[in-house]
Amino acid sequence: MIEIFAYDSSETMNFSLRVGLATMAGLLIGLEREYKGKHAGLKTNTLVAIGAAVFVLISLRYYGEDYADVTRVLSQVVTGIGFLGAGVILQKEKEDRVKGLTTAATLWCSAGAGSLAATSMFVELGILTFLVVIINIVFGYIDDKIEGGKKDR
């Protein structure tokens, strides 16, 4: 059973480490989005990573308890981020194109980063953060070049 008023400094340090690393991953991912002037940038990606980490950490407190399924919270983080991501996707009627898909996918990855941090998968967290930032930078550059070529036609 969980003791409500018990204080464990090692547990607090563990929480701080995990949430701190989720924060750093969200900041790094969001920095690229902010630099590109996207609506869901630095703050949004950071808060998504922190929120995902906190919810997963709360569920992990119930690990081993009767009738507790800690994986349910993780699946609900994935579902909830889908709704948040849908909010950043817009259809531009004049241009007949959809905008915001990359930002929505990036928010989803930020939630994944928070979940990795919460489960102490720190190496995987570093790999994910690196890949998301590199993919957004490199493929963003390539996408801009392709889009620029289409406008010249």
In a domain, 4, yes or no: no
**Tell me: the pLDDT tens digits for 81-108?**
888 888 888 766 666 777 888 999 999 9
Find residue 99's DSSP bridge partners: 90
Question: How many domains does the chain fold into?
Answer: 1
In a domain, 2, yes or no: no
Averaged over 96-121, what is the pLDDT? Answer: 91
Range of the domain at 119: 9-152
N- to C-terminal Cα distance for the chain?
67
**Tell me: the pLDDT tens digits for 22-71?**
999 999 999 999 998 887 889 999 999 999 999 999 999 888 888 888 88
Would you call 109 exposed, middle or buried from its count of C-beta atoms within 10 A (0-12, 13-18, 19+)? buried
Tell me how far apart the alpha carbons of residues 69 and 86 are, in angstroms, rounded to a whole number.
Answer: 27
Side-chain half-sphere exposure of 124, counting CA atoms within 13 A:
12
